[in-house]
Amino acid sequence: MDFAPISLDGFDYRENALARIKRYIHNITPIMFYRTNDLIHSQRVLWHLEEAIPDILKVYGDGFDVGFSRTLALVHDDIEIFTGDVQLYDKEHMESDELEALARKENNAIPIIVKRYNEVANGFDYKELLTAAKEKDRLEAQFVSFFDKVDGGGEAWHEVWAGNHYFLLPAGGKHGQEGGYVRRLNEFPNKYPAMAKFFEQFLQYLPKPFDFKSVAEQGKPHTEDSLQKNSNYPLYERWKRTIIGHEGIDFLVTQVEFD
């Protein structure tokens, strides 16, 4: 499908701010060979979503707002410009009072960020977009959240295939089946019932358990040639193809941190 460019007039320096927020900053992932930032990540989430939109429309038709979802994909992490990137691993281990405090911080940041940039983003209410990203009470926001995690999983799998053992836990848990992004992505059909009929028809979007440890033990830094080899892990292959098709290979093969 062809998509119109997303217009973010009045969002001066937003991309610079997102580029300063590094991904996967946590003591369990101290080294990330191909560490990215929120600017790269947000653009990739948009591409992952766009690749899936033809399938989404087969299931939901006019019940899915393509324009809103695409805009949301691009701005879904804007709130982190003020709150910072609180790692999903930490959120999952927070007590209820800690989660409430984080929610208040995020809610308070929304009017601040709207005032800094613009009330309108690509023709949509910017506050409504940011609120949807946080509350996930719209189908479009649920799909953006899914592809946000697809990209997070892809980043982890990319590290594992490069031999980075630090990413075994986020990739799929200690044994590749009970945790990490394998678990998180497979929770979506139950967590968001409106999405269930999509996964009934397109089960291939969900990851399967895998022996990531064996992969990491044999892994080596990526090269142009190695990216063309089939990992035999379909969702990682889809992640790679989408990024290469839109972005090329530079970020995928240029190692920026070393163990």
Does pLDDT of 256 surpass 80?
yes
What's residue 122's pLDDT? Answer: 98
Rounded mean pLDDT, 104-118: 95
**Residue 36: inside a domain, yes or no?**
yes
Cα 126 off chain centre by? 20
Instruction: Judge residue 216's burial from the number of C-beta atoms within 10 Å of its C-beta, 0-12 exposed, 13-18 middle, 19 or more buried.
Output: buried
CA distance 185 to 252: 22
Residue 159 placed within a domain: yes
Question: What pLDDT score was predicted for residue 90?
Answer: 81
Instruction: Examine residue 33 and state whether it is found in any structural domain, yes or no.
Output: yes
Average model confidence (pLDDT) for the chain? 95
Q: Which domain holds residue 217?
A: 14-253
Name the 3-class secondary structure at 18: helix
Predicted confidence at residue 57, as pLDDT, reads 98
Tell me whether residue 246 is in a domain: yes
Establish if 8 belongs to a structural domain.
no
pLDDT at 87: 79
30 Cα distance to chain centroid: 19
pLDDT given for residue 176 in this prediction: 52
**125: which strand partners?**
120
Q: Is the pLDDT of residue 37 over 60?
A: yes
Query: Model confidence at 94, in pLDDT bands (50, 70, 90)?
Result: confident
Nearest to 29 by CA among 110, 89, 83: 89
Q: Which of these ranges, 33-42, 95-104, 118-127, has the smallest mean pLDDT?
A: 95-104
In this structure, are residues 179 and 169 in contact, taking their beta carbons and an 8 Å threshold? yes
Task: Give percent above pLDDT 70 in the chain.
Answer: 98
Residue 120 sits at φ, ψ, to 5 deg, of -120, 130
What one-character-per-residue DSSP string does 125-150 give? Answer: EHHHHHHHHHH--SHHHHHHHHHHHH
Total domains in the chain come to 1
Domain with residue 55: its CATH number is 1.10.3210.10
Model pTM? 0.96
Residue 4 counted as domain residue = no
2 occurs within a structural domain: no
Which residue do the tokens 């927070």 mark? 94
Query: CA-CA distance, 224 to 171, in Å (whole number)?
Result: 22
**Residue 177, pLDDT score:** 55
Q: Is residue 103 part of a domain?
A: yes
